[in-house]
Structure formats: C-alpha cells, structure tokens
Structure 1
Amino acid sequence: MQFALIHSYDPSTTGPADAEVERWLELDAELTRTGVVVHESGFHPVDEAQDVTVRDGQVGVTAAPRAGSTVAGLHVVDVPGPDEALRIAARIPTAAYGTVQVRRVVQFEG
C-alpha cells in the first residue's frame, strides 16, 4: 500500500531547526535502504509559492501565500499497511513542531 506523508507547520509560530538536518538525513537514508520510499520532496519557502485558481473560465494567479500552516514537503512510501505508515510519520522531524498527515494513495490499475 502506498501512503503520502505530508508534513506541514505554521512558519509564523515555529519552524525547522538547524539541528534537525542530521535527523532528516538519517531518516532518508534508512527509508531508502529499506526500499519503502517511492518519492520524497521538500519544498522551497511558501513565500515563493503561487496559487492558481480557475473561476468562470478565468485563470487567477495569486503570489501572496495564505496565512497559517504551510506544506513543507512529502514522502510517498510503499509499506504493508497504515500502522507502518504512521510509525514512519512519527519519525519525520516536522512532527515535533507541526503535523504529518498520512493519506493512502489511490493507485489506478491499467
């Protein structure tokens, strides 16, 4: 089963510490070594983001980020079930000051 582990936090109240880099590297190395990682990505700061909307056929692009929690990155893992996905999510450093949402990935056959 594949699960997306989507990590986010509110940059107006907290954020990653320099010390967490080593924890990220260790976790990434372990997930790669065990073969559970399908994909992983971190994102550049939210102030570089743009939101795209389409309303009544009109495309709108907003450069200003919304206030509140921001998605910092994601891992897609392939594990036997939700318990293992939750165990991995709890090890993501962002869980200590933000949240890690665990969502099963739809896998289309064909």
Structure 2
Amino acid sequence: MKYICLIYDDEKAFESLPQEQVDAVMSEYFDLSDALTGSGQLIAAEALQPVSSATVVRVRSGRLSTTDGPYAETKEQLGGFYLVEAKDLDEAIRIAGRIPSARFGSIEVRPIFECQRPGT
C-alpha cells in the first residue's frame, strides 16, 4: 500500500542552524532516500521551496483568485514529502520515524486513496 509522509518543520528554526548542522541533516535525508530506494520502498521524495514562495489558489463563484505566501500562519510548514510503499500503517510509521525531521518537527502519515475513473 502507498503512504505519503508529509514533513513539517519550523523553517525559521532550520534556517538558524549552523551550516554544518544543516549539512548533517541533509546527509541523513540522502542516506534515508538511498536506503528506501535500495529496499524498493521509495516511490518519490521531494523537498519544497520555502513557504514564502507559495501561491494559494481559490475559485469562488467561478472566479479564480490567488494569494501570495502561506494559506495560514503556523509554527510548522510543509517542507517536503516521501511517497513510500509499505505493507501496512505500522511499517509506514516506522519509515516516518526514520525521517530526520521527526526529531524536531512532525511527520504526517496518510494512506494514498487509489481511485479509478468511473467505468474503467
């Protein structure tokens, strides 16, 4: 079954770390990605640009509007994700626990809803 592990961090706290700590954490991310690739569990993984680069899109009464920046002010921002294959939620949680940000942020684990176009 596919699960997405959404990575939430405090961008400001991460930006304030000394470069050697940032490099160490990033090395852990690369090592985890390599391990998950080796086990055949990694489907995709990406880091996101800072939340200040976000654009929120809404359509109301048929009119499209956009707003720059994050939708809401929060302590933690969505910083990236891992899309993994796991036999069950317990295994997906164990994978999420290996994500470096689990130590100082939070990881939201959600199963993927696999849908098909009606009639196919």
TM normalised by structure 2 equals: 0.83
What residue in structure 2 maps to residue 85 of structure 1?
Answer: 92
What residue in structure 1 maps to residue 45 of structure 2?
Answer: 40
CA distance in 2, matches of 1:95, 1:53: 31
Q: Which amino acid aligns with 1:29?
A: D
Deviant stretches of 4+, over 6 Å: none
What residue in structure 2 maps to residue 67 of structure 1?
Answer: 73
Q: Could you report, residue by residue, the CA deviation over 1:52-100 in whole angstroms, capped at 9, with x for unpaired residues?
A: 0111111110013232121101111111111110001011111111110
What residue in structure 1 maps to residue 102 of structure 2?
Answer: 95
Contact 2:8-2:80 at 8 Å conserved across structures: yes
CA distance in 1, matches of 2:69, 2:37: 35
TM normalised by structure 1 equals: 0.90
Larger Rg: 2
Contact 2:11-2:50 at 8 Å conserved across structures: no
Q: Could you report, residue by residue, the CA deviation over 1:15-73 in whole angstroms, capped at 9, with x for unpaired residues?
A: 26412011111101000011001111111111111000111111110013232121101
CA distance in 2, matches of 1:22, 1:40: 14
Unaligned runs of 5+ in 2: 16-20
CA distance in 2, matches of 1:108, 1:62: 30
Aligned-pair Cα RMSD in Å: 1.5
Question: Of the candidates 23, 27, 37, which is equivalent to residue 22 of structure 1?
Answer: 27
The CA deviation at 1:107 is 1.4
CA distance in 1, matches of 2:93, 2:52: 29
SS of residue paired to 1:15: helix
Q: Which amino acid aligns with 1:82?
A: L
